[in-house]
Amino acid sequence: MKRTEIAVFAGGCFWGVEHLMAQQNGVLDIQCGYTGGHVPQPNYEQVCSGHTGHYEAVRILFDPQTVSYETLAKLFFEIHDPTQSDGQGPDVGAQYRSAIFYTSQTQKNTAQNLIEILKSRGYPVVTQLLPLEHFWPAEDYHQHYYQRTGTQPYCHRRMKRFD
């Protein structure tokens, strides 16, 4: 039986994060959804209202024998701007905040170490580290958006920040 792990990242619009993370070898499944708020089973309109506390996020099922959590977290920090609070590019709002929702102390420690590396390189990182409590999948029309439409992310581009 193959051992798998879960990683959850929020870095602006979940479409771009999903699209770019899905290209990483070792990612077995990826899903857009909502996490971090206080409203159970929220929908897109509720989350966009700014009153649920939720983040747009992606939940990644990955094979740790193929790709490490550290590799995924580094990619996350390179495909969004971890220094921008309350949004990414033209997308502004609480649901677009930068956060890593960890599922273990090891994930938290790895993410904290990467944040410290970025800060030592002059990046004023605002990414929050929060324990994952619940993840609610987004509506079907949000899943694999760029793959289905044949378009590219407009607010996510890879910028190398690690060696």
Please name each of the domains of the chain with its CATH number.
5-149 (3.30.1060.10)
* 155 is an active site residue: no
List, for residues 8-41, the tens digit of each pLDDT value. Answer: 999 998 989 999 999 999 999 999 999 999 999 9
Catalytic residue (choose from 13, 32, 48, 155):
13
Write down the pLDDT at residue 1: 64
Average pLDDT, the chain: 93
Side chain identity at 80, as an amino acid letter? H
Average pLDDT over residues 54-68: 97
Which pLDDT score is estimated for 84?
92
Nearest Cα to Cα of residue 153 among 9, 23, 7: 23
Write the DSSP symbol of residue 143: T
The 10 Å Cβ neighbour count of residue 35 is: 22
- Give the single-character DSSP code of 103: S
CA distance 134 to 37: 9
